[in-house]
């Protein structure tokens, strides 16, 4: 199957079956989404969502978080992965928003990446979700699915992002991130993908390879018998 055919099939299935994917992180403002995405690194959205209501209540605006002490923020995030670095990053991020961006979350990926605790994935998530920018955030789920489906053979996050961006229309890139991440979270899971209930089997390179192995094994058994 040609790459363009695979993309057409996968994207077509998502358009029909998941027309309006939504992020699972809870937020009520661009600033609070930025906080949530920083906290979600190496942590589940479910756990982050357990703690962000109190964080959002205490720090409704960047100036509130910028004035917080490390101990105050650490106490709120201590059960989330890497609490020391995340607490420090959140405070430093808020201070930079106040001092350099007028307390507004920038809509440019490169500007977002200047903020402490914000890497390319976080910047892409915020830019696509809040500002509908034509970028794709590649996390572990998106990276895994891109390889399994045959959408990319890239060995790095940057290479996979480049392949996805080259083959997905700009207007669909914000949705594509959520399509892939949610499919990876609930269907094409890391340890044991649920291929039997996956609607993408027809276009999945890994599934086709496994089916081919099964047919060859059956044929070998017939010959041996």
Catalytic site positions = 121, 139
Tell the burial category of 173 from Cβ atoms under 10 Å away from its Cβ (0-12, 13-18, 19+).
Answer: buried
Q: How far apart are CA 91 and CA 139, in angstroms?
A: 24
Burial readout 133-150 (b: 16 or more C-beta within 10 A, e: otherwise): bebbbbbebbbbbbbbbb
Q: How far apart are CA 213 and CA 91, in angstroms?
A: 53
Q: How far apart are CA 144 and CA 80, in angstroms?
A: 24
Q: How far apart are CA 103 and CA 90, in angstroms?
A: 14
| Residue 108, Ramachandran bin (φ over 0: left; ψ between -120 and 50: alpha; else beta) | beta
Tell the burial category of 215 from Cβ atoms under 10 Å away from its Cβ (0-12, 13-18, 19+).
Answer: exposed
Residue among 79, 73, 75 at smallest CA distance from 95: 73
């Amino acid at each position: 199957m040609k790459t363009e055919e695979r993309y057409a099939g996968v994207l077509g299935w998502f358009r029909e079956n998941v027309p309006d994917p939504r992020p699972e992180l809870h937020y009520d403002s661009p600033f609070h989404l930025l906080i949530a995405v920083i906290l979600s690194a190496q942590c589940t959205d479910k756990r982050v969502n357990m703690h962000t209501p109190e964080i959002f209540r205490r720090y409704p605006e960047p100036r509130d978080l910028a004035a917080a002490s490390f101990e105050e923020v650490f106490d709120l995030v201590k059960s989330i992965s890497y609490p020391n670095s995340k607490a420090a990053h959140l405070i430093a991020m808020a201070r930079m928003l106040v001092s350099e961006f007028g307390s507004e979350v920038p809509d440019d990926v490169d500007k977002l990446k200047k903020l402490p605790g914000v890497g390319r994935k976080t910047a892409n998530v915020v830019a696509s979700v809040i500002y509908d920018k034509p970028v794709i955030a590649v996390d572990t789920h998106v990276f895994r699915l891109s390889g399994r489906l045959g959408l990319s053979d890239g060995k790095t996050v940057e290479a996979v992002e480049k392949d996805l961006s080259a083959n997905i229309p700009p207007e669909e890139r914000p949705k594509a991130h959520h399509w892939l991440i949610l499919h990876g979270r609930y269907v094409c899971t890391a340890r044991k993908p649920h291929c039997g209930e996956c609607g993408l089997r027809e276009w999945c390179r890994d599934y086709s390879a496994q089916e081919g192995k099964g047919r060859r094994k059956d044929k070998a058994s017939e010959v041996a018998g």
